[in-house]
A and B are shown apart, each in its own frame.
Chain A
Amino acid sequence: MDPSIADQRPLRILIADDSDSDRLILKTLVKRLGHDVFDARDGEEAVRLFEEAQPDIVLLDALMPVMDGMEAARRIKALAGERLVPLIFLTSLSEAGDLARCLDAGGDDFLSKPYNRVLLEAKINAFNRMRRMHDTLSGQRDHIRELNQQLLREQEIAKRVFDNVAHTGCLDAFNIRYLASPLSVFNGDVLFASPRPAGGMLIFVGDFTGHGLPAAIGAMPLAEIFYGMAAKGFSAKDVLREINRKLKQILPTGMFCCGAMIEAVFHENQLWFWNGGLPDAQLIRANGDNVALPSRHLPLGILSPDQFNADLERVTTEPGDSLMLMTDGVLESSNRAGEVFGDAGVARALETRKQGLHPFDAVIGSLREFTGSHQDSDDITLFCVDMVDDAAITPLPDRTTLPGPAEWHCEYELRERTLGDFNPLPLLLHICMEVPGLRSRSGEIYTVLAELYNNALEHGILELPSDWKHSPEGFGKYYRERQVRLGRVDGHFIRFSLSHSMKPYGGRLRVVCEDSGSGFDFKNHPVSTAKNTPAGPLSDNPVIGTSYAGRGLMLLRQLSESLSFHGRGNRIEIVYDWDYSDAPLDHNKNDRH
C-alpha cells in the first residue's frame, strides 16, 4: 500500500451508544486495534465530544435518547465542514428505509450488531484510507488554489507595471480604436502607439510566441525601445532594427515576436508599413475598397541584424481611410460548432458593413455575433487607425519634470564615412529636448535640424541636384546616386554648433551648420531675395536654376527668427526663439525616407 495513504498512528475514534454493554464491547474492540477511544451515551454528548476531541472516525448508534443518531450525524457532518470524517452507523436495523435514512443523514456506512471484529477492523482501515486520500486531495487542491490566486495577484501587479510602461503613448488618440483584452499581455500580445516629434504617429502591434509569463517577458524591453526611440525621433526602420536586435539577443531560439510597424504620416497622407508574421492588415479606403497588406517578413527576433530587412512599404492614403491590424487570436476565435472566424469572417464583416458603421465596429460586432457566449476573448487584439489631419494629435507630455539646462553650447562634427553611416538627428534633437521650453516644439526643432542636415549632406557635400526629384524616374536616380556618392566622402565633414540661452519670457536656440562642400550662390537664392516675407506661401516663390532646392531653405526661413548664409554658402545660421506664452506653429515637414 502507498505509504502516504497508510497511516500508522493511532486513530481518534468517537463511539456513541446508549447501551452500556454494547458501548463497552465496542470500546474494548477498538482499543485492542490500537486506537484512542472517546465514548458518549447519547447524540448530544456525541456532538459535544466531537467538537472537543476532533476524532478521525465516528461510530454512531442510530437509536439513542436525548438526540438520536440521525440528528447527531447531521450536526457532526455540519461541524466537520469540508473535512471528511467517516461516520459509521451502528445498528440492528435491517429495514431498507431505515438504513437509507441513516445515509441521508450523512452516514457513510453501517456496522451491524453484534459486532464482528474482523469486519470492524477492515471498515476502520478502509475508511481511514479514504479519509487520508481525501486529506491529500483537498490539501493539493488548496495548494493549487493558493498558487493560482498567487499567480493571478502577480499577474495583476505585473500588468500594472506593464501598463505604466506600455500605455504611456497615444492609444487614446481620437483616431485610434482598439480592443485588447485586459490580460492580453499574458497571451503575448502588445500594442503601442506614439506620436512622432516631427508629426505623425508610430504604431506597433505584436504577438509573442507562447502564453503566460514567458510570452509577456519580452514585452517590457520592446515597450521601452519603442517609446524611447519614438520620442527621440528615430524612424520606424531604426526602431524595427533595434527591436529585432534586442529580441534576437534576449529570446531563446524558438521564441519570437510576430509584429507589424506602422508609421502614419497624416499630413502627407502616407503610411509606411512593415509586417512580419501578423495576419494581413486591412486598409479600408474611404471609397469602399479594401486592400490587404500581407506579411512579407520573418517575425522579429529570428534573423541576425545583418540579415534583417527593415524596409517599410509606402502606402498612399486619403483622409478617411482606415488601417486595421489584428493578432491571430481574432482569426482563431471559434464558435460553438468549433468553426473559426478566420480571414473570411473579417472579409464578410467588412463587405456587409452598413453605411456609416466604422470598419472596426463592424468587425467587432461580427466577431461577437459569431462567437456568441462561447468566447475566449483573452486572446484578442484588434487595432484600427484612421487617416486624419494630425493637428489635433497632441505630443507626449514631458516625461520628466526636472528643470533642464538653459545656458549651453555644443559642437558636433561628423566626418568621413560616418557621414554615410550614421544619422545624427536623434542625438541632436535629444540634446535640444533637454531644455523644457523646447520640448513642446520638438516637431519644429526636428524639422530645422533635419533640413539643415539634409541640405548640408545632399546638396553641400554630395552636390545632388534637387530638380532630379521633380520626376518619378529622377527620384529613383537621386537616391541611387546619393548612395553611390556617400561612398566618396573622404575629407568631408558636417559641423553643427548649437547654443541656447535664456531671454525674458523664453529662450533662443542658435544653430550653425557648416559643411565642407563648395557652397552655392546664395545671394541669388529665393530665400535671400524674398526678404521679410516669411508668411508668403511657399509655392509662390520662383524656383531658379540653382543647384539648391528652394523648399527646404524656405521652410527653415519660415520656422526660424532669422536665417543667414556665411562663407561661400557652406555655413548656414538660424536663430530659433521660443516663448513661454505662445504655442508652436503647426509646421510639419521633413524628409526622412
Chain B
Amino acid sequence: MPIETRHLEDSQTLVISVEGRFDFSTHQAFRDAYEHSDNPVEYYVIDLSETTYLDSSALGMLLLLRDYAGGDSARISIENCNSDVRRILAISNFEQLFAIR
C-alpha cells in the first residue's frame, strides 16, 4: 500500500505515510486515509520519509486535508521530506501553511 495510516498512543494523532510517488494516483487513498478515521483527530502528521516524488496535485491534496482539518486552525506537520520533496514544498512556500520538519 502506498498510503498507510496509524494512530499514535495518545490516539489523537493520525500519522499518514506516503510511499513512493505522491501524485494524483494517490488522490483517493490519501482522502480515505483521513476521512475514514474512527477516532477524533487533533494532530495530523504526514510522514514523507518514503516519498520519492511530490507534484502539484499532491500540494492540492495537502490543501484539501488542511481544509478538512479546520483550515487556519488545522494542526498538520509534514515530516521527513527528502531534498527533492522539500524543494517543491519550499518553492510553493507551504511552510506558511504547514509545519514542515
Q: Which A positions have Cβ atoms within 8 angstroms of B? A: 207, 209-210, 253-256, 258, 276-279, 294-299, 302, 328
Q: Within residues 46 to 90 of chain B, which ones have a CB less than 8 A from any CB in chain A?
A: 56-57, 59-61, 63-64, 67, 90
Q: Name the residue on A nearest B62 (C-beta).
A: A254
Q: Does B93 contact A (CB under 8 A)?
A: yes
Q: Are A298 and B57 in contact (CB under 8 A)?
A: no
Q: Which residues of B contact A295 (CB under 8 A)?
A: 90-93
B29 within 8 A of A: no
Which partner residue on chain A sits nearest B56 by CB separation? A209
Residues of B in contact (CB 8 Å), total 16
| Contact surface of B with A, Cβ cutoff 8 Å | 24, 56-57, 59-61, 63-64, 67, 90-94, 96-97
CB distance from B1 to the nearest CB of A (A): 22
Instruction: Give chain B's interface secondary structure class.
Output: helix
| CB pair B64 A254 closer than 8 Å | yes
Q: Is there contact, CB below 8 Å, between B93 and A254?
A: no
Q: Given A209, A298, A328, which contacts B94 in the complex, CB threshold below 8 Å?
A: A298
On whether the beta carbons of A254 and B94 are closer than 8 Å, the reply is: no
**Cβ-defined contact, B93 with A209, below 8 A:** no
Determine the distance from Cα of A154 to Cα of B14 in the docked complex, in whole angstroms: 44
Contact A258-B92, Cβ < 8 Å, known A253-B67, A298-B97 = yes
Contacts of B63 in A (CB 8 A): 253-254, 256, 302
Expressed in whole angstroms, the minimum distance between the Cβ of B28 and any Cβ of chain A is: 13
Q: A210 and B93 in contact (CB under 8 A), knowing A253-B67, A302-B63?
A: no
Given the complex, which residues of B lie within 8 Å of A328, measured CB to CB? 56
Once the chains are docked, how many angstroms separate the CA of A299 from the CA of B97? 12
| Distance of B30 from chain A, by nearest CB (Å) | 11
Question: Which of A254, A256, A258, A294 has the most chain B CB atoms closer than 10 A to its own CB?
Answer: A254
How far is it, in angstroms, between the C-alpha of A298 and the C-alpha of B90 when the chains are bound? 9
- Shortest CB-to-CB span from B22 to chain A, Å, is 13
Determine whether the beta carbon of A276 is less than 8 Å from that of B56: no
Q: Across the interface, name the chain A residue whose C-beta is closest to B94.
A: A298
* Pairwise interchain contact B60-A255, C-beta atoms closer than 8 A: yes
Whole-angstrom distance from the CB of A274 to the nearest CB of chain B?
A: 12
Residue of A nearest to B95 (CB): A298
Q: Are A297 and B64 in contact, CB atoms less than 8 angstroms apart?
A: no
Query: Roughly how many angstroms separate A296 CA and B92 CA in the complex, as a whole number?
Result: 8
The 9 A-B residue pairs whose C-beta atoms are closest, nearest first, are A254-B60, A209-B56, A277-B92, A254-B64, A253-B67, A298-B93, A295-B91, A254-B63, A209-B60
- Within 8 Å CB of A277, what residues of B? 91-93
Describe A's contact surface by its main secondary structure. Answer: loop
With A209-B56, A298-B92 known, 12 other A-B pairs at CB within 8 A are A209-B57, A210-B24, A210-B56, A210-B57, A254-B57, A254-B64, A256-B60, A258-B91, A258-B92, A278-B91, A297-B93, A302-B97
Residues A299 and B92 in contact, CB atoms below 8 Å apart: yes
Q: Which of A276, A294, A298, A328 has the most CB of B within 10 A?
A: A298
CB <8 Å contact, B64 and A253: yes
**Chain A, Cβ-Cβ closest to B66:** A253
B83 to chain A, nearest CB (A): 12
Q: A256 to B93: give the CA distance in the assembly, Å.
A: 13
Closest chain A residue to B92 by CB distance?
A: A277
Closest to A294 in B: B91
Q: Is the CB of A258 within 8 A of B67?
A: no
Distance in angstroms between the alpha carbons of A258 and B91 in the assembled complex: 9
18 contacts between A and B (CB under 8 A): A210-B24, A253-B63, A254-B57, A254-B61, A254-B63, A255-B60, A256-B59, A258-B91, A258-B92, A276-B92, A276-B93, A278-B91, A279-B91, A295-B93, A298-B97, A299-B92, A302-B97, A328-B56
Q: How distant is the Cα of A258 from the Cα of B59 in the complex, in angstroms?
A: 11
Complex CA distance for A568 and B24, rounded to whole angstroms: 68
Give CA–CA (A209, B97) in the complex, Å: 18
Docked CA distance A258–B63 (Å): 14
Query: CA A297 – CA B63 in complex, angstroms?
Result: 15
Chain A nearest CB, measured from B53 CB (Å): 10
Give the residues in chain B near A258, CB-CB below 8 Å. 56, 91-92
**What is the bound-complex CA distance between A256 and B97, given in angstroms?**
14
Q: Are B91 and A298 in contact (CB under 8 A)?
A: no
> Do A209 and B91 touch across chains, with their CB atoms under 8 A apart?
no
Shortest Cβ distance from residue A310 to the other chain B in the assembled complex, whole angstroms? 14
Residues of A within 8 A of B90 (CB): 295
* Chain A residues positioned under 8 Å from B24 (CB to CB): 210
Q: In this complex, what residue of B is CB-closest to A257?
A: B56
Contacts of B56 in A (CB 8 A): 207, 209-210, 258, 328
- Does A209 contact B64, Cβ atoms closer than 8 Å? no
A296 to B96, CA, bound (A): 10
- For B90, B92, B97, the residue with the greatest tally of chain A CB atoms inside 10 Å of its CB is B92
Task: Give bound CA distance, A513 to B34, whole Å.
Answer: 61
Q: A328 CA to B24 CA in the complex, in Å?
A: 17
User: Which A residues touch B64, using CB under 8 A?
Assistant: 253-254
Q: Which residues of B contact A209 (CB under 8 A)?
A: 56-57, 59-60
Tell me the smallest distance from the CB of B92 to a CB of chain A, in Å: 4
Q: Are B96 and A298 in contact (CB under 8 A)?
A: yes
Distance in Å: Cβ of A260 to nearest Cβ of chain B: 11
Residues of B contacting A276 in the complex (Cβ-Cβ under 8 angstroms): 92-93
Contacts of B60 in A (CB 8 A): 209-210, 253-256
A364 to chain B, nearest CB (A): 22
Output the residue of A294, A297, A299 with the most chain B CB within 10 A. Answer: A299
Whole-angstrom CA separation of A297 from B92 in the bound complex: 7
Nearest CB of chain B from residue A376's CB, rounded to whole Å: 14
List the A residue with the shortest CB-CB distance to B24: A210
CA distance A297 to B64 in the complex (A): 19
